[in-house]
Structure 1
């Protein structure tokens, strides 16, 4: 039995007057009929994938489990770096890019705008997704999107109440390439998706890939669907026990072939689920590869610091250095909290690391205070972004 293609149903576009777009095409389309997607119910379906695709997915799961098990111990800070890098890659799929330094500074100052602030919000959404993995329901999904948008677009938080569509500039629901389901279908579709995701009789990575594709087909929000949908992936990986310690950078793997990922979502809607399962299997394997490179590079940075820093082995300087591996930009207040000492006393530890070239102080004009950044760590993170962003 094949996989059911997304069908469609007819609706009249009748938005409130304040939601009609500014173009003549949008205004002229009001009151006319359009066809919105009608996704199949998944909850009771099996996953008809070939043995080849199933084996590829199982190989990816085995590698992801192995990497997660390896990523403990001395470099626990790797988890924080991978989480931030994964969030940046997920944002980059939506063409939202920011340097590692801009993101790290925005985390400390809360004064960033533009893409850096959006990536920070995506980090927080990923954290929420992992924390909610053991109670994944409609409320949890709403929470992920709320965390993602409440500071940058609070008016778009929550289930949408109007059509959304994918198409070229100037398109309307009548001319779009894809129109998501009518908003009256959202809650039932999400509940069906949750029941499907809760099953424990399906191959995990295939189930996760299909759940993600179904979420993107439902497109339940006016904004943030892609980033929330990829946060949902990490909630499922944690819920299914594939990850326990780190956020494996699957979005980085998808970014490597962004066009293939989008084509796989289109194929899913046409009734072929194998491309999206294959895309996630390859993304998982790439994620492990890049994650191991990240771990090696961070370990090399730590080794270099061992030779450059002049401090006793029991000095708080080393605890601060380890904290910088996870959070490569700090101010004095942040560093003091990390060490559990007063802000007055933390400055001498910051100066030791600055004298060794580990930290560089900068007057941040927006925050109106000095920020201290660890260029070696930021360089590793930017190298990761370049690596995963290369098209393949």
Structure 2
């Protein structure tokens, strides 16, 4: 289906600004020229209320949103059918889809890690800083879905707390609205030359209250509501750091809250990652009074999520089936069968991880790992006598292939 013309406007009240004064807080850290440039009046954004906004959407855009919505629902239903197997792989598959969405959301913020590094970080192996930071985003997504029954300021604060507890240097602001001015763009000493200056922190609580009232409405197309709520959240910029990742977690929470999807996180961030320039430009257009671009970005991202997500699910299920066939002849009550579906969600494991997550004793976990290794399902990758790590290379190949597919799509723009 063709995407509507980019000239189709969905009018929303334009953000305004207010003039405030700025003086660098630590002038001794900057040159005298920079201090002079960053001393004086600056313009801070003032968000327009959206709680009572009534969108006027063209027929083309409405059809586009409806088509994207149908594809998201179809993906969700397909994931449920594919995952509700006899050995209940739903939980592990949900985990890997959520982690994939978290990694894509983090990559938009230039926080890049591999599927392997992320899986190792989950079991306290490896030392990649980015992977540990992305784990925070996984926790934020988990909170977004767990708290989706009621979206409130408190649930959003909990999402942010889950995110920032894992980001060194920001633990003290986790789950707290900012108490300082923030901006995007040049100017470490101040906001006077920034590309975007967020609202003064004193305006954050009122703007967030208005946003929640908008999210609570039931009379707006869900995908339009998700896109606009996300754009408004990013304009409010309520936190010192982590706004983008929290805002995309909020999008997942709204999708679940409105009943559009129910099985897991859908990889919408992967769709946004395909063209981050267009995504950021759409946020700018929203602040200038046009919600059309951000609505269309979320429609595009939803279609990409449905298409690539369906293939990812199918490829992971194929890996599970192949591994199951390799275990043919193993006793039905052997612990290896209990471990197998868990490998979809966590394709790098240790004996300690299996003991903690599956309740296996140490000897049972070791026997299961020996069986899975002997049958070619797992590979022991450390060569150590102790603290060994086993990996399912087929699942990592699928996840790496998915990431490469998104990179190729991004290269095409």
TM-score (norm 1): 0.94
Match of 1:253 among 244, 247, 271: 271
Q: Does 1:236 align with 2:251?
A: no
TM-superposed CA distance for 1:257, in Å, is 1.4
Task: Please give the alpha-carbon distance, in whole angstroms, between the structure 2 residues aligned to 1:211 and 1:22.
Answer: 37
Task: Please give the alpha-carbon distance, in whole angstroms, between the structure 2 residues aligned to 1:52 and 1:190.
Answer: 31
TM-superposed CA distance for 1:262, in Å, is 0.8
Match of 2:236 among 218, 226, 232: 218
Q: Does 1:58 align with 2:66?
A: yes
Cα separation, partners in 2 of 1:388 and 1:148, compared to 1, 3 Å? same
Show the counterpart of 1:118.
133
Task: Please give the alpha-carbon distance, in whole angstroms, between the structure 2 residues aligned to 1:120 and 1:364.
Answer: 26
Show the counterpart of 1:88.
103
> Deviations for 1:16-35, whole angstroms, at most 9, x for unmatched residues?
449x8645555335541100
Cα separation, partners in 2 of 1:170 and 1:230, compared to 1, 3 Å? same
TM-superposed CA distance for 1:113, in Å, is 4.3
Give matches, 1:130-209, under 5 Å.
Answer: 130-152=145-167, 153-157=170-174, 158-168=176-186, 172-209=190-227
Cα separation, partners in 2 of 1:115 and 1:364, compared to 1, 3 Å? farther
Show the counterpart of 1:300.
318
Show the counterpart of 1:355.
374
Task: Please give the alpha-carbon distance, in whole angstroms, between the structure 2 residues aligned to 1:194 and 1:21.
Answer: 39
Contact 2:237 2:243 in 1 (8 A): yes
Structure 1: where are the runs of 5+ without partners?
none
Match of 2:393 among 364, 375, 384: 375
Task: Please give the alpha-carbon distance, in whole angstroms, between the structure 2 residues aligned to 1:161 and 1:346.
Answer: 49
Q: Secondary structure at the match of 2:180?
A: coil
Match of 1:11 among 20, 34, 49: 20
Task: Please give the alpha-carbon distance, in whole angstroms, between the structure 1 residues aligned to 2:24 and 2:150.
Answer: 35
Moved over 6 A (4+): none
Show the counterpart of 1:101.
116
Cα separation, partners in 2 of 1:262 and 1:71, compared to 1, 3 Å? same
Aligned length: 389
Q: Does 1:28 align with 2:43?
A: no
Q: Secondary structure at the match of 1:41?
A: coil
Task: Please give the alpha-carbon distance, in whole angstroms, between the structure 1 residues aligned to 2:383 and 2:274.
Answer: 34
Contact 1:79 1:245 in 2 (8 A): yes
Cα separation, partners in 2 of 1:313 and 1:118, compared to 1, 3 Å? same
Match of 1:47 among 50, 55, 58: 55
Cα separation, partners in 2 of 1:305 and 1:2, compared to 1, 3 Å? closer
Q: Secondary structure at the match of 1:36?
A: strand
Q: Does 1:71 align with 2:90?
A: no
Task: Please give the alpha-carbon distance, in whole angstroms, between the structure 2 residues aligned to 1:338 and 1:218.
Answer: 39
Q: Does 74-83 or 192-201 show the bigger shift? A: 74-83
Match of 1:322 among 337, 341, 352: 341
Show the counterpart of 2:5.
none
Q: Does 381-390 or 208-217 show the bigger shift? A: 381-390
> Deviations for 1:88-142, whole angstroms, at most 9, x for unmatched residues?
0000000110111110010111764411001111000000011111221111111
Q: Secondary structure at the match of 2:43?
A: strand
Task: Please give the alpha-carbon distance, in whole angstroms, between the structure 2 residues aligned to 1:27 and 1:142.
Answer: 34
CA root-mean-square deviation: 2.1
Q: Does 2-11 or 83-92 show the bigger shift? A: 2-11
Cα separation, partners in 2 of 1:371 and 1:234, compared to 1, 3 Å? same
Contact 1:15 1:162 in 2 (8 A): no
Task: Please give the alpha-carbon distance, in whole angstroms, between the structure 2 residues aligned to 1:364 and 1:98.
Answer: 24
Contact 2:21 2:41 in 1 (8 A): yes
